[in-house]
Amino acid sequence: MNNSSDDKLSNTDESLQNDELELYKVAYQNLQQRHTALFKLNQLSQDCKELSTFYAQVHRVIKAIMTAENFYIVMYDQTLSTLEFVYHVDEEDEVPEDPVPYESFRGSLTSHVIESKEPLLATPNMIKQMANDGVLNHIGTAGMDWLGVPLLQDGYVIGVMAIQSYTENTRYTEEDKALLTYTAQHVVSALVRLQDHEQLQKAVSSRTRELMEQIREREKAELLQESLYRISELTNRVGLDINDFYGQVHNIIGQLINAENFFIAKYDRESDTIDFVYYLDQNSRNTASDFLPQKSADLYTALVVRRKQTCLLSYDEMYELYRQGETKKPQKETNSWLGVPLIADDDVIGVLVLQSYQKHITYNQQDAELLNFVSHHVSMAIKRRETLDYERRTHEMLEKQVKMRTEALEEEIRQRKQVEQMLKHNASHDDLTGLPNRVVFLDLLDHAINNMKRRPEMEFAVLFLDLDRFKMVNDSLGHHAGDLLLKVVAKELKSIIRANDTVARLGGDEFVVLIEDIDDKSEVYEIAQRITFTLAQPFNIDNQPVFIGTSIGILFSDDRYESAETMLRDADTAMYHAKDSGKGRFEEFDASMHQKIQEELSLEADIRQAIEQDEFTPYFQPIYQLDSAKVIGFEALARWQSSKRGMVMPNQFIPVAEETGLVVDIDLQIMRKACDQLKQWQAQGLCEQQYVSCNLFGNHFYNPTLPDDISHILNSAGLEPAHLRIELTERVLLEENEVVLANMKALKQLGIKLLLDDFGTGYSSLSYVHRFPLDVVKIDRSFITDAHLKTSNRAIIKTIIDLAANLQLATISEGIECQEEADILTQMGCLYGQGYYFAKPMAGEKATALLTASK
C-alpha cells in the first residue's frame, strides 16, 4: 500500500517537471526570438543607408517580436512645432502626408507621450479615464490597446513610435512596453546617423553645384577676356579696313550675347548727328535709308547719348518713352532693345545697339552689364583706330607737303604757328568756357596790385563767384548738362562786365572778375547786382528750365595786399560769408570776417584736441516698435563735453569737422563707445535683441579699410555684428563708386545692417536705392511733421512705405512729435519710429534707467 502511494507521487512530480521544462523551452524560444530581432535591429542601424527604407525595416523587426500590424513613427520638430508621420501602417486611421502643426494633435495620445517624455501603455479603460479627466480630446478611431514610446535624443523628444490593436485577441503588456522602449533607443541611434548622412550628402551636392557654377563663371570670364584681347588686337591691324573692323567687332560680341541685330552708331557732338557706321538688321521693314546719318532728335540711340548711360528697354518701355514725347514710336516687331554708350575722354562718341524681334530673345541686366563692360574696350579700340587713321592721313599729308617744296614748307610753318597760338591759348584759358584760367587771372591781379602801388588812384576790385545750386544740377541732370550750364554762365558774365574788365574761371563752378580803374564803389556794386539778378533767372538746359543763383564775395584794393593769392583768399572768404548768409547775394569783405576765420581755426584746433582726449560721447535716442511701444534699438548721436567750451552741440562742431575731415575720427569714437555701452547693457541683462545705430560720414565709405576698422571695434567690445547698424546718407550712393559698393557688401557679410538716413531730402529714389545692399529706409522728419494735418505728406509717406515693402526694406520714421503722427504711421504699415514724442537723445546713464524701467 505504501509502495503504491509512493509510485503515484513519483509520477506526479515527473509530470510537473516536464510541464515546467516545456514552459522554460517556450520562454527560451521567445527570448531567443527577441534576441535575434534586437540583433537584427542593431545591425539595421549600422547597415541601412536611406531613411526611406529604414522605417519599413524597423516595422518588420518589431513585428517579429510582438504583434504590430498597426504601427507608426511620427517625428516632432520642436523648433517649428510640427509633426510629420514618416511611416504609418494602420487598419483604420489615416494621417496627413505633409508636416502638420503640433497644435492640431494636442490632446492626443501621441502628444501625451511627447509632453511627458515617458512610454504609455493605454488600455480602453485608461483611455476613457484620461478623456474624462480632460487629458485627452483627440483620440482617433476607437480601438483596444495603444502602446507608444518616445524617441529621445540628448533628453529631447524628437518623435514617437507606437503600435495599436483593435481586437481583444491582441493585448499589450508591461513587458511589451519595456521591449518597445528598449527598441526605440536603437531606432534613435539609427535615425541620427541616417539624418547626419543625408545632411552630409546634401552639403556635398550643394558644394558640387557651387563648384560647377564657378567653373561656368570661369569659362565665361575666359571667353570675355579672350574677346577683349581680340578687340584690342584688331586695333593694331593697320591694314584692316574700318568696315571689316566693325564687322569683326560684331562677330566677337556675337560670341558673348545674341547679336543677330547689331548696330554701331557714331555721334558727332558739334552737329548733334548720329551716323550708323555699321548695321546688320533682320527686320524687312527697315531699309538702307533708315541708317543714313541723321539728327539725333527722337532716336532711341540719341536717348543713350543724352543720358550717357546704358538703356535696357522692353517694347512697353519704348512705347512709354514715345508717349512722353521723348522718342519716336517703336516698331511693333521690336521685343527688346539694348544700347550702351561708347565713351572716350568722358565724351559720348557713339553707341552700341542690340535689338531683338523675337519673343524668346529678351536682353537682361546681365547682358547690359556685359555689353557695357565690352563697350569701354570697343571705345578705346575705335579711338585708337581713329588715331591711327589720323596719323596715317597726317603722314600722307606731310609727304605731299614735302613734294610741294617751298609752298608746302611755308604752309607747314603757318600751320605750326597756328598750333603754337592754340597751345598758348589753351595753356592760359579754360578748355570748357574759353575764359582765362587761374594762372592768367593771378598774373593780371598781381599786375593790378603793382600798378596801384605806383599809381594809388588806379583802384580795382575782385568779385569771387560761386554758383549756388550747380552741384544739384550736375548730379540730377548729368555732367553734360552741367558743362552746358557753365558755358552759358561764362557767356552771360562776359556780356555784363565792361570792356576793360576780366572774367576768369578758377575751376568747377567758381568764377572771378577783375574790375579795374574804378572811380566809386557803386560801380562794383552795380556789376555785382546785375550778375546776381541775371544768374537768378532760369536757364534753358537740354530743353529744361534750370535755376541756380550765385553768391558773390567783393574785395576792394588796399595797400595792405602784397600778393594776388592773398586777395583771392579774402574774396573767397567774403563769398562764403555771402553763402552762409542766405545765398543769392553779395557781401563785401571786412575785418570781422577774419575773426570768423580765426574762430573756425580755433574750433578746429579744439576738435583735434578733443579727439585726442576722447571727449566725444554718444547720446542715445530710442527707436520704438510702433505697434507695441517696445524699444528695439538706439541711434547713437555725437555730443561733445569739451574741457574748454562745456557742452557743444552737433550743429556747432559737425560742419567744421566735416569740412576738415575730422568727422571720420569722431564717428569711430562714437561707434566704439556706443558698442561698449550696448555690451554693458547686455551684461546687465537690460537688453537682448536691441541694437545700436551709428551714423557714418560719406568719406568713410571711400576707405577700403572700413570693414576692418569696424570689425576691430566690434571685437574690442565683444559685440556681435547683428547688434550694430550703420546709417549713411544718399549722397554716398550717387556716384556708384566701386569702393563704396564693395564696403557696403563687406559690412553686410559681417552681419551688419545698413540704413539709408534722411530719405527724401536729396536726389535718390527707391528705384535707385534697390541697387544697393540696404536693409532699412529712414523717412525724413520733414515728411513726418504735421502728417496728421497734411494730406500731401501722408501720400508721400504711404508711397515710401509701400515701395520699401515691395523692395523688402523696413522703414523707420524720424521726428515723431505727437500721438497722432505715431498712430497714422502705424496705420500706414510703418513698423518703427523715433522722435521727441517717445524720447529725446539722452546720456548713457538715462538710457540705462529707461531700459531698467522697461524691464
Q: Are 378 and 316 within one domain?
A: yes
- On the question of pLDDT at 545 being above 90, the answer is no
Q: Are 583 and 677 within one domain?
A: no
Cell triple for residue 162? Answer: 507606437
Q: Is 608 within a domain?
A: no
What pLDDT shows up at residue 725? 96
What pLDDT shows up at residue 690? 93
Q: Are 385 and 268 within one domain?
A: yes
pLDDT band at 26 (very low <50, low <70, confident <90, very high): very low
Cell triple for residue 734? Answer: 550717387
634 contacts 670 by C-beta, under 8 angstroms: no
pLDDT band at 708 (very low <50, low <70, confident <90, very high): very high
**CATH code, domain with 506:** 3.30.70.270
CA distance 805 to 794: 16
Q: Does residue 315 sit in helix, strand or coil?
A: helix
pLDDT band at 66 (very low <50, low <70, confident <90, very high): confident
The mean pLDDT of 781-801, rounded to a whole number, is 86
Q: Are 29 and 120 within one domain?
A: yes
Cell triple for residue 282? Answer: 533682320
Q: Is 503 within a domain?
A: yes
- Match 543625408 to its residue by C-alpha cell: 198
Residue 810 burial (CB count, 10 A): 17
Question: Would you call 494 exposed, middle or buried from its count of C-beta atoms within 10 A (0-12, 13-18, 19+)?
Answer: middle
CA distance 489 to 435: 11
Give 471-485 pLDDT, tens digit per residue.
777 776 788 888 999
What pLDDT shows up at residue 447? 92
Q: Does residue 459 sit in helix, strand or coil?
A: coil
CA distance 847 to 76: 43
Q: Is 708 within a domain?
A: yes
Q: Which amino acid, 88?
A: H
- Match 539728327 to its residue by C-alpha cell: 295
Q: In terms of pLDDT, which residue wins out, 433 or 211?
A: 433
Give 375-432 pLDDT, tens digit per residue.
877 787 777 777 777 777 777 787 787 777 677 777 777 778 777 777 766 777 888 9
Q: Is 413 within a domain?
A: no
- On the question of pLDDT at 34 being above 70, the answer is no
- Match 566704439 to its residue by C-alpha cell: 672
Q: Are 69 and 186 within one domain?
A: yes
Q: Are 259 and 297 within one domain?
A: yes
Q: Are 272 and 149 within one domain?
A: no
Cell triple for residue 546? Answer: 534750370
CA distance 453 to 137: 109
Give 105-142 pLDDT, tens digit per residue.
888 898 899 999 999 998 888 888 888 888 888 666 77
Q: Is 831 within a domain?
A: yes
What pLDDT shows up at residue 710? 95
Q: Is 622 within a domain?
A: yes
pTM for the model stands at 0.43
695 contacts 727 by C-beta, under 8 angstroms: yes
Averaged pLDDT score across all residues of the chain: 83
Neighbouring residues of 443: CB distance < 8 A, sequence distance ≥ 6: 564
266 contacts 277 by C-beta, under 8 angstroms: yes
Neighbouring residues of 486: CB distance < 8 A, sequence distance ≥ 6: 432, 433, 470, 505, 509
Counting residues of the chain whose pLDDT is more than 70, the rounded percentage is 85
Give 643-670 pLDDT, tens digit per residue.
888 999 898 888 888 878 899 999 999 9
Neighbouring residues of 829: CB distance < 8 A, sequence distance ≥ 6: 801, 802, 805
**CATH code, domain with 830:** 3.20.20.450
CA distance 743 to 746: 5
User: Phi and psi for 631 in degrees, rounded to 5?
Assistant: -75, 120
Cell triple for residue 19? Answer: 510541464
Q: Which amino acid, 705?
A: T
Give 692-707 pLDDT, tens digit per residue.
999 998 889 888 999 9
The mean pLDDT of 530-547, rounded to a whole number, is 88
Q: In terms of pLDDT, which residue wins out, 361 or 42?
A: 361
Q: Is 26 within a domain?
A: yes
Q: Is 609 within a domain?
A: no
Question: Would you call 520 exposed, middle or buried from its count of C-beta atoms within 10 A (0-12, 13-18, 19+)?
Answer: exposed
Give 619-633 pLDDT, tens digit per residue.
999 999 999 889 999
What pLDDT shows up at residue 609? 92
- On the question of pLDDT at 238 being above 60, the answer is no
CA distance 513 to 198: 79
Q: In terms of pLDDT, which residue wins out, 386 or 366?
A: 366
Cell triple for residue 791? Answer: 494730406
Q: Are 383 and 472 within one domain?
A: no
> What residues are paired with 550 via a beta bridge?
467
For CA atoms 698, 704, 707, 709, give the dihedral sign.
Answer: negative
Neighbouring residues of 560: CB distance < 8 A, sequence distance ≥ 6: none
Q: Which residues of 274-294 are buried (b: 16+ CB within 10 A; e: fewer)?
A: bebbbbebeeeeeeeeebeee
Q: In terms of pLDDT, which residue wins out, 55 or 237?
A: 55
Give 252-293 pLDDT, tens digit per residue.
887 778 888 888 888 888 888 888 888 888 875 665 566 677
User: Phi and psi for 263 in degrees, rounded to 5?
Assistant: -135, 145
Q: Which amino acid, 566?
A: T
Cα–Cα separations (whole angstroms), residue 242 to 231, 237, 249: 13, 10, 11
Q: In terms of pLDDT, which residue wins out, 246 or 635?
A: 635
The mean pLDDT of 740-754, rounded to a whole number, is 93
* Of 429, 459, 457, the residue nearest 441 (C-alpha): 429
Neighbouring residues of 183: CB distance < 8 A, sequence distance ≥ 6: 38, 41, 61, 62, 65, 149, 161
CA distance 460 to 512: 13
29-33, 382-386, 812-816: range with lowest mean pLDDT: 29-33
- Match 547626419 to its residue by C-alpha cell: 196
Q: Are 839 and 787 within one domain?
A: yes
Q: In terms of pLDDT, which residue wins out, 228 or 677?
A: 677
For 715-837, list the strands marked E by DSSP. Answer: 724-729, 753-759, 776-779, 810-813, 832-833
> What residues are paired with 641 via a beta bridge?
647
What pLDDT shows up at residue 219? 52
Q: Are 141 and 71 within one domain?
A: yes
Q: Are 741 and 791 within one domain?
A: yes
- On the question of pLDDT at 520 being above 60, the answer is yes
- On the question of pLDDT at 73 being above 80, the answer is yes
| Boundary (domain end) residue, out of 346, 366, 392 | 392
CA distance 503 to 506: 10
24-28, 154-158, 679-683: range with lowest mean pLDDT: 24-28
Cα–Cα separations (whole angstroms), residue 619 to 624, 638, 651: 16, 6, 15
Residue-range definition of the domain harbouring residue 292? 242-392
Residue 185 burial (CB count, 10 A): 15
Q: Are 130 and 168 within one domain?
A: yes
**CATH code, domain with 110:** 3.30.450.40
92-106, 156-170, 193-207, 601-615: range with lowest mean pLDDT: 193-207
64-78, 176-190, 303-317, 438-452: range with lowest mean pLDDT: 176-190
pLDDT band at 512 (very low <50, low <70, confident <90, very high): very high
- Count of domains observed in the chain: 4
pLDDT band at 558 (very low <50, low <70, confident <90, very high): confident
CA distance 26 to 433: 113
How many residues does this entry show for the chain?
855
What pLDDT shows up at residue 431? 87
Cα–Cα separations (whole angstroms), residue 774 to 276, 625, 751, 756: 41, 20, 12, 7
| Boundary (domain end) residue, out of 392, 420, 451 | 392
758 contacts 730 by C-beta, under 8 angstroms: yes
593 contacts 580 by C-beta, under 8 angstroms: no
